[in-house]
Every structure is written in structure tokens, then in C-alpha cells.
Amino acid sequence: MLEFYKNKKVLITGHTGFKGSWLSIWLNMLGAEVIGVALDPINKKDNYVLSGISSSIKDYREDIRKPDSVKEIVFKEKPEILFHLAAQPIVLDSYKKPVYTYETNVMGTVNMLETFRLSDSLKIGVFITTDKCYENIEKNYSYKETDPMGGYDPYSSSKGAAELAISSYRNSYFTEGDKKIASARAGNVIGGGDWSPYRLIVDIISALESNTKIKIRNPQAVRPWQHVLEPLGGYLILAAKMHMEQQYDEAWNFGPETENIVTVKQLLEEVIKYYGKGTWIDVSEKEKLHEATLLSLDITKAKNKLNWQPKLSFRETVQYTVDWYKKYKTENVMDLCTNQIKQYMKNMEHR
């Protein structure tokens, strides 16, 4: 299936980010010609920076809020496939910068939809949103792709609005012809090379490296934890199948199996166990901003129609993640990433 990408021209927005960097490395390994459009990496320790993937792809630094600049790049490079990942991705940041969040996540998505519509070369578009796009009723319920969009905080509601824009463009412009778009909703993604603020793994690793206590908000909050390669594998399968048939141009959930839907505390304790040290304190009472306490995805559709399923157990998810953070200072980061991708691809073949 993934051999489809050899010699394909693929545009990734947000390629300097956490998920974007891993996707860039994976597609480069598959023989694709990768074109990236994004802002600068936020941290000199980001996976994108340390892996050195920029030397193997076409690297454009541009803001998706500037549609003319992005169109110019697309019309020049003529990519065939689009993975739109660029976003303001942090819930707590969305409270501080709501206008920027909506500009980036809603209008940035609309700009990419319009660029896709006007491009002669682009035929397949996978637009990445989030599991938080759903109207979260915070009950023991796994959200299906047909459930209503919503969002309590600016980040979540911006992603719900983006989903509505994607659906509208699909219904208005892409029901016929050779252009197809889909949206993909993933859970809480973890893995090596993420240093974004307010992320649980980042907080844990930063505390471990500085030998300080790990400060945890909402230790009983339940999340669908998955390694970054899990949803990326889903996106790659989805785009390849969309190229073959029209029926896949719709919304898709890519989440973990039930055993990976655990509390913040359970994930924290597993990371500490595998890392080999660490203590933590609960700072929940000091946090006043709302964060959902319960969220999970129903992935039945992706399993049945795409033949995609998660490959990593909860323990393997943590091990893949912690391995990167334990080794990034002393080993070649590109080798770390490619070795994990190769191992994951073996899992895709044999499980």
C-alpha cells in the first residue's frame, strides 16, 4: 500500500511541527518528493531540527493565514497530494490567543481548501483536525464520525468549525471529478521530539531532565493515548486509498485500542517506570481553565473500511516515546526516527 508514495509529490503544511516532522521523514523514506510549508520550529530540540530532515525536502517557511503566498508555492511546485497539519495546536494557548487560534485553525484551513480547489495539480487532500472537534458530553461514550461537532474551548471549537468548512467544500466542489478531500481526527498523540508547551509528555520529560517534581493537571482525566506513527500510518493509508476510489473522501477517526485509553496518572506512572526515575505532584486545584476529563474515539469505521488498526500496545507506545527522549542527546536523531518507522512498518505487515 505505502509503495504508492514513491516518486509522488506531496505537500505537507506544518511540516516543522511534531507530527509534520515525523510524516516528512516517513514520506521521504518511502521515496516521495516532500514539499513543506510551515512556520519556524518552536524549539531547537524539536524533532524537525534534530533529525535534519530539512536537507532532504523542499522547505518553505510561510504562514497559512497568507493565502496568496501559499498559492504561489503550490502553483510553482505542483504537488499531487496534500496533508494539511498546520495549526495552533495547544488548548491552553487558545485561551490566551483566541483570535490567532481561529485565524489559523479555521481561516488557515479555508485558505488551504481554496488553494486545493484552485490548484491544477492537487488531487488528494487529507485535512487533519482533532478528536476534540466533537461536542464532548464527557460520558462513557466513544465518538463516531457522524456525531455533532462542538468544542468548549477556542481550540476545540476552532477545529469543529474547520471540520464544517471541510465538509462544506467537499459537498460544494468535490462530489464529482478527480479531486477528493477527507478529514482525519486523531487522539492524544505522543512520541519523540515534541517540545510543545502544556503537553503531558513534554512536562514529564522536562522535569525528569531537570530533576524536579513533575507537575500534573487532572491526573484522573482519561485520554486516548497513541504513538505519533499510529495516526500517520492511517493518514498515509487513507490518501493512498482515496487515490484509487471516491468512497474514502469523508471523515475518519484514528485512535487507539481500548487498552490505550487510560488516565493521565497511568501514563505518567508508566513513563516514570520506563525512564527509571521521577516523582510527581498534583496541581489541579491551581488550574482554573476548563479541560475535558473524558474523551475517546470509535475507530470501527477505519478498521472495517480502511483495514487500518493500531499496532502498538500501551506499553509499546510508551517505550517508543521514552526511547527517543532517552537517546536524542547521544544518538543520531534521524537514525532514531527511521529505525522506529521501520519497526512500525514491520508491525503493519505482520499484525
The cell for 284 is: 489541579
Parallel/antiparallel/unpaired status of strands 251-254 and 188-190: unpaired
Q: What is the helix (H) or strand (E) element at residue 34, kind and residue range?
A: strand 33-38
Query: Residue holding cell 497530494?
Result: 81
- The three-class DSSP label of residue 191 is coil
pLDDT digits (tens, 9 = 90+) for 169-179: 999 999 988 99
Distance CA 61, CA 58 (A): 10
Q: What is the band of 41 on the pLDDT scale with cuts at 50, 70, 90?
A: very high
Domains and CATH numbers, the chain: 2-350 (3.40.50.720)
pLDDT digits (tens, 9 = 90+) for 303-343: 999 999 999 999 999 999 999 999 999 999 999 999 999 99
Q: What is the band of 289 on the pLDDT scale with cuts at 50, 70, 90?
A: low
> 175: which residues sit within 8 A by CB, 6+ positions away?
none
pLDDT at residue 234 is higher than 90: yes
**Maximum mean pLDDT: which of 18-32, 125-139, 217-231:** 18-32
- Would you mind telling me the total number of residues written for the chain in this entry? 351
pLDDT at residue 287 is higher than 60: no
pLDDT digits (tens, 9 = 90+) for 269-285: 999 999 999 999 998 86
Distance CA 177, CA 82 (A): 17
For the segment 216-220, the average pLDDT, to the nearest whole number, is 89
Q: What percent of the chain has pLDDT over 90?
A: 85
Burial (CB count <10 Å: 0-12, 13-18, 19+), residue 9: middle
What is the reported pLDDT for 306?
Answer: 96
Q: What is the band of 295 on the pLDDT scale with cuts at 50, 70, 90?
A: confident
What is the reported pLDDT for 246?
Answer: 67
What is the reported pLDDT for 350?
Answer: 66
Q: What is the band of 140 on the pLDDT scale with cuts at 50, 70, 90?
A: confident
What is the reported pLDDT for 258?
Answer: 87
Higher pLDDT, 225 or 292: 225
Query: Residue holding cell 510549508?
Result: 37
Cross-sheet strand order for the sheet of 9-13: 58-61, 33-38, 9-13, 81-84, 124-128, 180-186, 251-254
* Neighbouring C-alpha atoms within 13 Å toward the C-beta of 84: 36
For the segment 106-114, the average pLDDT, to the nearest whole number, is 98
The counts of H helices and E strands in the chain are 13, 12
What is the reported pLDDT for 217?
Answer: 84
pLDDT at residue 79 is higher than 70: yes
If DSSP states are collapsed to H, E and C, what string results for 249-309?
CCEEEECCCHHHEEEHHHHHHHHHHHHCCCCEEECHHHCCCCCCCECCECCHHHHHHHCCC
| Residue type, position 35, single letter | I
